[in-house]
Amino acid sequence: MAKTAWVFPGQGSQSVGMGADLVTLPLAEARFAIAADILSWSVPQICQSEDDKVSNTLYTQPCLYVIESLLVDLLRERGFSPEVVAGHSLGEYVALYAAGVFDFSVGLRLVQRRAELMAQSSQGIMAALMGFDREALDDAIAATEGVVLANDNNPGQVVISGTIEAVEQIMETVKSKRAVKLNVSGAFHSPLIAPAAREFQDVLEAVEFASAQVPLLSNVDPTPATDSAVLKQRLAAQMTGPVRWREISLALPDLAIDKVVEVGPGAVLTGLIKRTCKGLTLANVGTLAQVEAFGG
């Protein structure tokens, strides 16, 4: 029988209209009501807003968490479960929920505060680079103060983060097929967001984590872990640390994973994994139709 990993996308995978096919399900109605009590706004309304409110960090992260955790529970209702979980940036919170580390409400409160702090972080910028020489990029980052590798997505795609000057210098000096600045409020996954990370640490420390029911590969340390203290420590480092997604992808075959299911809107993560690991079966569950067609 195939061993399956569930992976959860983060900011950038959202789209206007996501979750629209879920809203009338009894489980979804109950979940959206709980979310409205916590957030003081409606997830379905934000997701359906034609002015793309869902792409504002303040809304993006809670909306993704609510939609993705709902998809997790719909899959579980049908008897499915993973052997391993991982999430990309914000998606790691859904992975922790899927692994039973905290309940829905606790996770949403963490995500809400994370989104608030990150939305307020106006220092620095981020940029995506595609099609580059990895050694040249690593050398340039090492020689340039104020910039770090924020997302190591796959061998041909990364995101850098830092001061405006440092990021622009890398974009100008490292040859790539494409380099584009991201529409985000600050230099996420870099030391520039350390003040927000310190404030979030106080929130995180007050939350009790349970041991994970299945191993989780964390962004800052892509080795499997279930210990609650380890998972919390890794999550605490995540806001300023790198998303090591390429290494997470490479770890999956070593864990005897045969199939990877991206649970959430879009197909960003399966696209990244496809370019890193050729032998894995990939599937996407981001809509009700995909839930109902899912075969394990």
> Which residue among the candidates 88, 161, 176, 189 is catalytic per the annotation?
189
3-class state of residue 261 by DSSP:
strand
Give the start-end residues of each E strand in 16-164: 84-87, 125-132, 147-154, 157-162
> Which residue among the candidates 13, 89, 190, 249 is catalytic per the annotation?
89
CA distance 116 to 119: 5
CA distance 291 to 136: 43
Angle between helices 57-77 and 104-119 (to 10 degrees): 160
Residue 205 is inside which H or E element, if any?
A: helix 194-205
Q: Could you tell me if 14 and 55 are in contact, meaning their C-beta atoms sit under 8 angstroms apart? A: yes
Q: Could you tell me if 184 and 126 are in contact, meaning their C-beta atoms sit under 8 angstroms apart? A: yes
Q: Is 214 left (phi over 0), alpha (psi -120 to 50) or beta?
A: beta
Is residue 189 annotated as a catalytic residue, yes or no? yes
Q: Could you tell me if 8 and 91 are in contact, meaning their C-beta atoms sit under 8 angstroms apart? A: yes
Instruction: Cite the active site residues.
Output: 89, 189
